[in-house]
Chain A
Amino acid sequence: ELKVEQNPLFLSMQEGKNYTIYCNYSTTSDRLYWYRQDPGKSLESLFVLLSNGAVKQEGRLMASLDTKARLSTLHITAAVHDLSATYFCAVDSGGGADGLTFGKGTHLIIQP
Chain B
Amino acid sequence: DVKVTQSSRYLVKRTGEKVFLECVQDMDHENMFWYRQDPGLGLRLIYFSYDVKMKEKGDIPEGYSVSREKKERFSLILESASTNQTSMYLCASSFNPRWAEQFFGPGTRLTVL
Task: Give A contacts to B, CB under 8 Å.
Answer: 31, 33, 35, 41-45, 48, 88, 90, 92-93, 96-105
With both beta carbons as reference points, the residue of chain A lying nearest to B4 in the complex is identified as A42
Task: Give B contacts to A, CB under 8 Å.
Answer: 31, 33, 35, 40-45, 48, 56, 58-59, 90, 92, 94, 97-99, 101-107
With both beta carbons as reference points, the residue of chain A lying nearest to B103 in the complex is identified as A45
Residues on A with C-beta less than 8 A from B33 are 99
Apart from A42-B104, A45-B102, what 5 extra A-B contacts exist at CB < 8 Å? A42-B106, A43-B90, A99-B48, A100-B99, A103-B42
Task: Answer whether A99 and B98 are a contact pair too, CB < 8 Å, given A42-B104, A45-B103.
Answer: yes
Q: Is the CB of B101 within 8 A of A99?
A: no
Q: Is the CB of B45 within 8 A of A99?
A: yes
Q: Is the CB of A96 within 8 A of B42?
A: no
In the bound assembly, the distance between CA atoms of A99 and B83 in angstroms comes to: 28
In the bound assembly, the distance between CA atoms of A41 and B106 in angstroms comes to: 6
Residues on B with C-beta less than 8 A from A97 are 56, 98
Task: Answer whether A42 and B107 are a contact pair too, CB < 8 Å, given A103-B42, A104-B40, A105-B42.
Answer: yes
With both beta carbons as reference points, the residue of chain A lying nearest to B59 in the complex is identified as A98
Q: Is the CB of A102 within 8 A of B48?
A: no
Rounded to whole Å, the gap between the CB of A89 and the closest CB of chain B is 10
Residues on A with C-beta less than 8 A from B59 are 98
Q: Is the CB of A88 within 8 A of B107?
A: no
Residues on A with C-beta less than 8 A from B105 are 42
Rounded to whole Å, the gap between the CB of B70 and the closest CB of chain A is 20
Rounded to whole Å, the gap between the CB of B107 and the closest CB of chain A is 5
Q: Is the CB of A45 within 8 A of B99?
A: no
From the candidates A43, A48, A93, A101, name the one contacting B104 in the complex (CB within 8 A). Answer: A43
8 closest Cβ pairs, A-B complex: A92-B99, A104-B42, A102-B43, A96-B98, A43-B104, A42-B104, A42-B106, A102-B42
Task: Answer whether A88 and B43 are a contact pair too, CB < 8 Å, given A43-B90, A99-B98.
Answer: yes
Q: Is the CB of B90 within 8 A of A45?
A: no
Pick 23 A–B contacts, CB within 8 A, sort by A.
Answer: A31-B99, A41-B107, A42-B90, A42-B104, A43-B90, A43-B92, A45-B102, A90-B102, A92-B99, A96-B98, A96-B99, A98-B45, A98-B56, A98-B58, A98-B59, A99-B31, A99-B33, A99-B98, A99-B102, A102-B42, A102-B43, A102-B44, A104-B40
